[in-house]
């Protein structure tokens, strides 16, 4: 299995990062995609990816950090897209759930990331979150994808929280749906929702992720999340999709590999083996 969305360079792991990684490989994880969120954190994310052939990374400015970010930060990060361990662009997107960053600046920065994806041919890792009774981040994300990158970009709607219509529009634009610990919060409601998504967009539209250190799956909700919980998240998804967990692992591995290309990069890397 693959964790397609981890923040292991977060301070939350400063005391025991090595032990956490050992635990992840011990439970059978194949790869981890370490997600960068701002320019200041980039050296740490890069160093982590450089430390192990099974860890890859991304560059981008998280929508919640856009308020503080400058165009020079964006330009600085764009030049890092050539780094051999950078497989994707993000974390980018739009967050109307918490008002950390001005909405127009979030849309402008997201647009820039979609242009990068189009111009550099790398997939997008997209965050989209909003309140039920407020403006829809999903509508704005999908509209910008349609305007700037239609037919030319692909990626993942990470920690997917949209309805069937958002899933249809998103997958038609080349997006996968990231499933993490949140699917374990309220089994009945999520079973119905995942079944609807599966019927609408098929069983190959999903990726596994943790978003660690946040959103640990039940019954670990109050604890720090880490990638060793991916198999537990896969269990929930398998249960909702009425599939064996092995089949979920196989389908999500194939989808993640096709989107990010871990294996080809691993074979490239000096001194690494292709497992
Ligand atoms: Zn994230």
Distance 14 CA to ligand 1 centre (A): 18
Residue range 191-215: average pLDDT? 98
Residue range 61-78: average pLDDT? 95
pLDDT at position 264: 80
pLDDT in tens, 80-111: 999 999 999 999 999 999 988 999 999 999 99
pLDDT at position 186: 93
Residue range 199-215: average pLDDT? 98
pLDDT at position 268: 62
Distance 35 CA to ligand 1 centre (A): 7
Distance 126 CA to ligand 1 centre (A): 9
**pLDDT at residue 274 is higher than 50:** no
The crossing angle, in degrees rounded to 10, of helices 245-260 and 230-241 is: 110
Q: What are phi and psi of 61, to 5 degrees?
A: -115, 120
Distance 256 CA to ligand 1 centre (A): 16
pLDDT in tens, 222-240: 999 999 999 999 999 999 9
Q: How far apart are CA 23 and CA 1, in angstroms?
A: 14
- Which of 33-37, 73-77, 157-161, 270-274 is the least confident region? 270-274
Distance 6 CA to ligand 1 centre (A): 7
pLDDT in tens, 127-169: 999 998 999 999 999 999 999 999 999 999 999 999 999 999 9
pLDDT at position 263: 87
Contacts of 152 (CB under 8 A, 6+ apart): 117, 118
pLDDT in tens, 248-263: 999 999 999 999 999 8
Distance 37 CA to ligand 1 centre (A): 8
pLDDT at position 273: 47
Residue bearing tokens 């740490």:
44
Residue range 116-125: average pLDDT? 97
Distance 215 CA to ligand 1 centre (A): 10
Residue bearing tokens 């759930």:
97
Burial of 142 (0-12, 13-18, 19+ CB in 10 A): buried
Distance 69 CA to ligand 1 centre (A): 17
pLDDT at position 275: 42
Distance 201 CA to ligand 1 centre (A): 23
- Which of 189-193, 231-235, 269-273 is the least confident region? 269-273
pLDDT at position 265: 83
Q: Are 170 and 140 in contact (CB under 8 A)?
A: no
Distance 155 CA to ligand 1 centre (A): 14
Contacts of 223 (CB under 8 A, 6+ apart): 216
Contacts of 180 (CB under 8 A, 6+ apart): 5, 158, 159, 208, 209, 210, 211, 215, 217, 233
**More confident of the two residues 206 and 264:** 206
Distance 45 CA to ligand 1 centre (A): 13
Distance 74 CA to ligand 1 centre (A): 18
Distance 225 CA to ligand 1 centre (A): 12
Order of strands across the sheet with 31-34? 2-6, 31-34, 55-59, 86-95, 124-129, 155-158, 175-179, 206-208
Across the chain, mean pLDDT equals: 95
pTM (whole model) above 0.85: yes
Distance 158 CA to ligand 1 centre (A): 8
Distance 110 CA to ligand 1 centre (A): 15
Distance 7 CA to ligand 1 centre (A): 7
Domains for the chain: give ranges and CATH numbers.
Answer: 2-268 (3.20.20.140)
Distance 13 CA to ligand 1 centre (A): 15
């Amino acid at each position: 299995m693959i964790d397609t969305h981890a923040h292991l360079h977060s301070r939350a792991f400063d005391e025991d990062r090595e032990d956490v990684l050992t635990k992840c490989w011990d439970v059978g994880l194949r790869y981890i995609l370490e997600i960068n969120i701002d320019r200041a954190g980039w050296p740490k994310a890069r160093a982590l990816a450089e430390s192990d052939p099974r860890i890859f990374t991304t560059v981008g400015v998280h929508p919640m950090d856009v308020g503080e970010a400058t165009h020079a930060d964006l330009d600085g990060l764009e030049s890092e897209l050539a780094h051999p361990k950078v497989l994707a662009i993000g974390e980018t997107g739009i967050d109307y759930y918490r008002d950390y960053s001005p909405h127009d600046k979030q849309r402008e920065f997201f647009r820039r990331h979609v242009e990068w994806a189009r111009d550099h041919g790398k997939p997008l890792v997209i965050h989209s979150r909003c309140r039920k009774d407020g403006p829809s981040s999903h509508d704005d994300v999908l509209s910008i994808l349609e305007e700037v990158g239609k037919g030319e970009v692909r990626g993942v709607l990470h920690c997917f929280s949209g309805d069937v219509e958002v899933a249809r529009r998103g997958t038609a634009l080349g997006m996968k749906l990231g499933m993490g610990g949140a699917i374990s919060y309220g089994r009945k409601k999520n079973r119905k929702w995942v079944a609807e998504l599966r019927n609408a967009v098929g069983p190959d539209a999903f990726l596994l992720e943790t978003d660690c250190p946040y959103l640990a799956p039940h019954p670990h909700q109050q604890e720090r999340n880490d990638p060793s919980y991916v198999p537990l998240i896969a269990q929930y998804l398998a249960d909702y999709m009425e599939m064996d967990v092995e089949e979920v692992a196989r389908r999500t591995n194939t989808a993640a590999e096709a989107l990010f290309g871990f294996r080809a990069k691993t074979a490239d890397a000096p001194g690494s083996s292709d497992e």
